[in-house]
């Protein structure tokens, strides 16, 4: 029983309080890519969640071995990218064979959908915090849905931005960055201290 409670508490913290975008600024370029394609948000968040749980589960035992060596700063990311590559190939052929309808929606974007900072961030941060198995998975899933939540909020904001007289120099990327900065300022108030990256 405590596992499920631990799982959900980790998931909720990762979803709202320690949101991957607002408090750690991980995966923002992928966020900007998705904000302009509102139809694909749910699909890519689910892909993200699936990939993170799969590679988190595979990576957990391997991580246990190497997270005390002297070169852990390099080995852990390389190991996780390797696992991500394996998982990508599995997911690629799984989607191609089992649900071809979805496949042409993805086209080649599946690669970008899997290999992005949000996915790797959701794997590395629990590894850095040395969480046990259940909370690693919970944290990973929470982070992916937190990413979706952040994209939805940014979507609201940026549709509203179209009706402001933004000065010419600030149009486009700059104003979206400032908006994202103000939002993460608000969520920072929730956390209160700088999170260990």
Partner 1 sequence: MSEIKEKMNISESLQYIFFKNPVLVLGLVLGQLAAGDTTLQNGAALSVTYLLIVVPVLVFASVIGKKLPGWLRVVSYTVLAALMLVPAYFICGSFSATIFDSLGIYPALLAVSTVPVVFASKIAEKQSAGEAALTGLCIGIGFAVTALILGGAREFFGNGSLWGIKFAEAVYPAVKLPFWGFILLGFMAAGVSAASDFFRKGKEINKNEEENQ
Partner 2 sequence: MSFFVKGILLEQKKEPMLTRSTLVMRQEFQYFDCDFMETPIDELSKEQIIEIARLAEIVDESDGKMLWEKLEKAELGEKGTLIVDAIDDEPYISSQMAIGIHHQEKFALGIELCEKVLAPAKTYIAMYKHIFDTNFSIPRKIGGYKVEKIGGRYPAENRAYRHIPKGRNSIVIGSCAMLHLARAAEDSRKMSSCFLTVAGDAVSNPRNVEVPVGTSVEEILRLCGLTEEPEVIVVGGSMTGRAIFEPENELVGPTTRGIVALSRSYNHSTYNCIGCGRCDHACPKALSVSTMRKLAEFGKFDELRNYDAAQCIGCGACSYVCPARIDIAATIIKAKKQMELAKKEGTL
Partner 3 sequence: MTEKLMFQNAPHVRQSESVRTMMTDVVIALLPIYLMGFFYYGARALMLGLCGVLSCVGFSAIGSLALREKFSFDLTPVITGLIIPLLMPADIRYFVIIAACAVAIFVVKVPFGGTGNNLFNPAAVGFASAAICWPGMVFSYPAPIQSLEIFGESATKIAQSPAYSLALGAVPEYEVLDMVLGNVPGPMGATNIFVAAACGIFLIVRKAVNWITPASFIIPYALLSAFFPRIEASSFDSLCYELFSGTVIFGAFFMLSEPVTSPKRDFGKFLAGITSAAAVFLFRYFGGFEMGFASALIVMNVFSPVFDRICEDILHVYRHKDSLLRKKEQNPEKEEKKEKAPALKIFKKAEKKAEIPEDEEIINVSLINTPGEELVPEEKEEPFEPEEKAEESEKEEAVQ
Contact residues toward partner 2 (CB under 8 A) are 162-163, 165
- Residue 160 binding partner 3, by CB under 8 A: yes
- According to CB under 8 A, which one of 75, 81, 134, 191 is a site residue for partner 3? 191
* Candidate segments 109-117, 133-141, 143-151, 156-164, binder of partner 1 by CB under 8 A: 109-117
Of the candidate residues 8, 90, 130, 171, the single one contacting partner 3 (CB under 8 A): 171
Q: Do the Cβ atoms of 195 and 18 come closer than 8 Å?
A: yes
**Min dist. Cβ of residue 76 to partner 1 (A):** 8
Applying CB under 8 A, does 60 fall inside the site for partner 3? Answer: no
- Report the distance separating Cα 121 and Cα 162, nearest Å: 31
Long-range contacts of 171-180 (CB under 8 A, 24+ apart): 173/32, 176/32, 176/35, 179/154, 180/21, 180/28, 180/31, 180/154
Query: Whole-angstrom Cα distance, residue 124 to residue 132?
Result: 13
Asked whether the beta carbons of 110 and 50 are under 8 A apart, the reply is no
- Dist CA 167 CA 87 (whole Å): 45
> H helices within the chain, ranges in order?
2-12, 28-35, 41-66, 72-98, 100-106, 109-114, 117-128, 133-161, 173-191
Rounded to a whole number of angstroms, the CA Rg of the chain reads 18
Q: Binds 130, which of partner 3, partner 2, partner 1, none (CB < 5 to 8 A, cut-off by type)?
A: none
Candidate ranges 34-42, 46-54, 70-78, 82-90; the one touching partner 3 (CB under 8 A): 34-42
Pick the closer one to partner 1 by CB: 65 or 112. Answer: 112
Q: Which is nearer to partner 3, 39 or 73 (CB)?
A: 39
> In the set 3, 8, 9, 38, which binds partner 3 (CB under 8 A)?
38
In the complex, least distance from residue 178 CB atom to partner 2, rounded to whole angstroms: 19
Asked if 66 contacts 72 with a C-beta cutoff of 8 angstroms, the reply is yes
What residues line the site for partner 1 (CB under 8 A)? Answer: 21-30, 32-33, 71, 73-74, 76-78, 81-82, 84-85, 88-89, 92, 108, 110-112, 115-117, 119-121, 124-125, 128, 168-178, 180-182, 184-185, 188, 194, 196-197
């Amino acid at each position: 029983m405590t596992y499920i409670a631990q799982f959900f508490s980790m998931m909720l913290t990762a979803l709202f309080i320690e949101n991957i975008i607002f408090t750690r600024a991980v995966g923002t370029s992928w966020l900007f890519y998705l904000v302009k394609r509102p139809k694909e948000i749910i699909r890519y968040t689910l892909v993200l969640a699936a990939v993170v749980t799969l590679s988190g589960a595979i990576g957990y035992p391997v991580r246990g071995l190497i997270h005390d060596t002297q070169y852990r700063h390099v080995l852990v990311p390389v190991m996780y990218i390797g696992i991500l590559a394996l998982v990508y190939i599995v997911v690629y052929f799984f989607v191609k064979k089992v649900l071809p309808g979805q496949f042409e929606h993805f086209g080649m974007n599946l690669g970008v959908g899997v290999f992005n900072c949000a996915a790797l961030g959701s794997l590395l941060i629990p590894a850095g915090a040395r969480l046990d198995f259940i909370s690693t998975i919970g944290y990973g899933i929470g982070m992916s849905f937190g990413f979706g939540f952040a994209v939805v909020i940014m979507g609201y904001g940026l549709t509203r931005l179209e009706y402001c007289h933004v000065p010419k120099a600030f149009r486009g990327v700059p104003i979206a960055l400032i908006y994202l900065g103000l939002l993460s300022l608000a969520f920072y108030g929730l956390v209160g201290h700088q999170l260990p990256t």
